[in-house]
Structure 1
Amino acid sequence: MTDKKLKIAFIVNPISGTGNKEKIPGLIEQILDKNLFDYSISFTERSGHAAEMASQFAQQGYDICAAVGGDGTVNEVARSLIDTDTALAIIPCGSGNGLARHLCLPLETKSAINIINSAQIERFDYGIINGLPFFCTCGMGFDAFISLKFAEAGKRGPITYVENVLKEGLKYKPETYTVEDESGTHHYKAFLIACANAAQYGNNAYIAPGASMKDGLMDVIIMEPFDVIDAPKIAMDLFAKTLSSNSRIKTFQARKIHIHRSKPGAIHFDGDPIMTDADIDVAMKPLGIKIVVNPDMPEDEAQPNPILNAFSDFFNNINNVRDDIVRGGHRIQALNKLMLRKLSRL
């Protein structure tokens, strides 16, 4: 190892995600290996500021930029580091923490700083949707619709997300898509189409349990239309990492795809929604970003998942009143409220 210290910039979003960031500079000072690093700490002041600062640090030859915040902050910093020699580090402080969870990075701040001290860096794939970089997932249809609702909600966390899914899911009208990939052209009526570089959205919601960030491929997930009986089982499979076995789900892998839909609408990239036209291009960029990794990279172990447990109770109640629902009963609204009460106590 060279005697020259590594230069690292910490970019802190003080209002992103959850929790107070006031103690983080002190923890960095306390835990960061000063024999290995020269460091600076900067705070964002507006949307897009993290991307601007990360770009400047990369141009100045910094070895690492650490994103301190939620998934939006991570995406901003990461997209300024693609195809550069500056590596991304993550101190996750968000409500979802999708990329950090996929990479088995600790969610506790002190442990995340200790991971940075290892200075172990590897290359990973990233994706582009209509010119916008993403690192975990992008999508359209209900996927993007809920991202818009989530962004408008004013508060974060899994409860807000699930609440929007329950309120809007059964009213959402599927769309028709034409999908072109290396194998040809296919037509789908779909509730959503998601393209995954990483395994999950965040909050341990696994849209593509087998996805790899090093194979140069995206996992494409097509969710077919479903009814009220199917909805809780799909939700359970999402959190139980068994979505690929659901009969309403079709999956394939591709390096790039072109999607045409009947009209313009929303897409999302790592949960950030944007309106775009009817044509959508998604492509993978192999090994185009450097990321500080957990040197131990533990296998993803089964851990208690309170959201999954809440869905499990919900699913069991749905089965108990299946006949009522089929006959047009209104027990579904009561069950929605039951699950949200359970989630509010998590």
Structure 2
Amino acid sequence: MKRKIVFIMNPISGTTSKVGIPELIDRTLDKEKFDYEIYMTERPGHASEIAIEAKNAGVDIVVAVGGDGTVNEVARSIVHSHTALGIIPCGSGNGLARHLMIPMNLRKAIEIINVCEIHALDFGIVCGHPFFCTCGMGFDAFVSQKFAEAGKRGPITYVQKVLEEGVRYKPETYELQDENGTNRYKAFLISCANASQYGNNAYIAPQASMRDGLMDVIIMEPFDILEAPQISIDMFNKTLDKSSKIKTFKCKKLHIHRKSPGVIHYDGDPVMAGEDVDIEIQEKGIYMIVNPDANKRLRRPNVLQSAAADLFNEINVVRSDISKQGRHIIALSKVLQRKLNL
């Protein structure tokens, strides 16, 4: 029996046209395995409506065709159900797709759907909002708000906002309570990660896993403008957890108290929240289509030839990202330093 798939496409996510995607799906999807329909979203929240209808109709797979916002909207509508999430990444960050090693090449992403390897993975909840990559507060959320207001997408816009706003942002003091007790921190930002990155290969939690039933909590201590470029480069180099400005631990549930209400974010979407913020992980709460090759790499770390090839590819990707992002980070930092007479 064929599986039923519903593709939910956000025509305005990301920075590229999606005009040719329906034809690409028709040409690439294995029609001996699947019957499919494609729906275009028309307004905020429409992706969620379509996903809920598909889930209630017993559709096997719902595929989010868009960026992290579309992915979150679709995914949160099918948690704790037998309907699986697929992703064709078309956004500006594509954090969840990158963590799952879903190819950025659209044809290859559809081929991953054809293989249809489905796993039960974790997701998080912050103040009642499901998230699948990260949630956070402090500068983390402040920049998400500024980024959402910027209109222009992409990694350079994000880095620009980090450097521009970082000069003026004042760290706060937070009280964190988990299963092991309560601690107070003065922090530039606090991020709770179910997956490893924000998007654009910016790894806030390089060791995070969607399979361990735990979130990685990242506490970034205050730093000055001269340290900002190195912290940003560490993020793209998967070495942020080695920075002296970072404290990190894992937990299943976390309660955070702060002095006043403010903005938080979930998967990059900013929202206002109160002084008290509760975050928890829902273990194996959502089914997702994963990259089977990435899976094999995790299961067979001693296959040296495969590991070496994967490592070589990863080094090339990281080298390219660092080269591109680092040049812009350092250039922007120098401009800010001159303006501040540093």
Q: Alpha-carbon deviation of 1:170?
A: 1.6
Counterpart of 2:259 in structure 1: which amino acid?
Answer: S
Structure 1 position 231 matched with structure 2 position 228: yes
Distance 2:48 2:222 in 1: 37
Could you tell me which of 192, 196, 204 is aligned with 1:207?
204
Segments of structure 2 that go 5 or more residues without pairing to the other structure are 298-309
Structure 1 position 115 matched with structure 2 position 112: yes
SS in 2 for 1:303: helix
Distance 2:329 2:258 in 1: 32
SS in 2 for 1:115: helix
Contact 1:219/1:253 (<8 A) preserved: yes
Could you tell me which of 52, 74, 99 is aligned with 1:102?
99
Counting matched residue pairs gives: 325
The equivalent residue for 1:242 is 239
Using a 3 Å threshold, how does the CA distance of structure 1 residues 258 and 54 change in structure 2: closer, same or farther?
same
The equivalent residue for 1:29 is 26
Structure 1 position 282 matched with structure 2 position 279: yes
The equivalent residue for 1:74 is 71
SS in 2 for 1:302: helix
Contact 1:229/1:318 (<8 A) preserved: no
Q: Alpha-carbon deviation of 1:102?
A: 0.5
Using a 3 Å threshold, how does the CA distance of structure 1 residues 112 and 312 change in structure 2: closer, same or farther?
closer
Task: Write the mapping of 1:157-236 to structure 2, written as runs, cut at 5 A.
Answer: 157-236=154-233
The equivalent residue for 2:338 is 331
Q: Return 132-141 or 18-27, whichever deviates more.
A: 18-27
Distance 1:170 1:303 in 2: 32
Contact 2:68/2:96 (<8 A) preserved: yes
The equivalent residue for 2:43 is 46
Q: Alpha-carbon deviation of 1:331?
A: 3.0
Distance 1:260 1:330 in 2: 34
Using a 3 Å threshold, how does the CA distance of structure 1 residues 225 and 30 change in structure 2: closer, same or farther?
same
Q: Alpha-carbon deviation of 1:232?
A: 1.3
Distance 2:66 2:241 in 1: 30
Counterpart of 2:140 in structure 1: which amino acid?
Answer: D
Distance 2:123 2:203 in 1: 18
Could you tell me which of 290, 305, 309 is aligned with 1:293?
290
Q: If the length of structure 1 is used for normalisation, what is the TM-score?
A: 0.90
The equivalent residue for 2:139 is 142
Q: Alpha-carbon deviation of 1:166?
A: 1.1
Segments of structure 1 that go 5 or more residues without pairing to the other structure are 336-346
Contact 1:232/1:311 (<8 A) preserved: no
Identity of aligned residues (%): 59
Q: If the length of structure 2 is used for normalisation, what is the TM-score?
A: 0.91
Using a 3 Å threshold, how does the CA distance of structure 1 residues 316 and 17 change in structure 2: closer, same or farther?
closer
Structure 1 position 302 matched with structure 2 position 309: no
The equivalent residue for 2:306 is none
Counterpart of 1:331 in structure 2: which amino acid?
Answer: R
Q: Alpha-carbon deviation of 1:56?
A: 0.8
Distance 2:172 2:130 in 1: 24
Q: Alpha-carbon deviation of 1:149?
A: 0.4
Using a 3 Å threshold, how does the CA distance of structure 1 residues 148 and 110 change in structure 2: closer, same or farther?
same
Distance 1:318 1:215 in 2: 38
Q: Alpha-carbon deviation of 1:217?
A: 0.3
Counterpart of 2:73 in structure 1: which amino acid?
Answer: E
1:173-232 CA distance string (max 9 Å, x none): 001101000111100110000000101000000000011100000000000111122211
Moved over 6 A (4+): 314-319, 332-335
Distance 1:171 1:142 in 2: 10
Using a 3 Å threshold, how does the CA distance of structure 1 residues 111 and 230 change in structure 2: closer, same or farther?
same
Q: Return 290-299 or 276-285, whichever deviates more.
A: 290-299
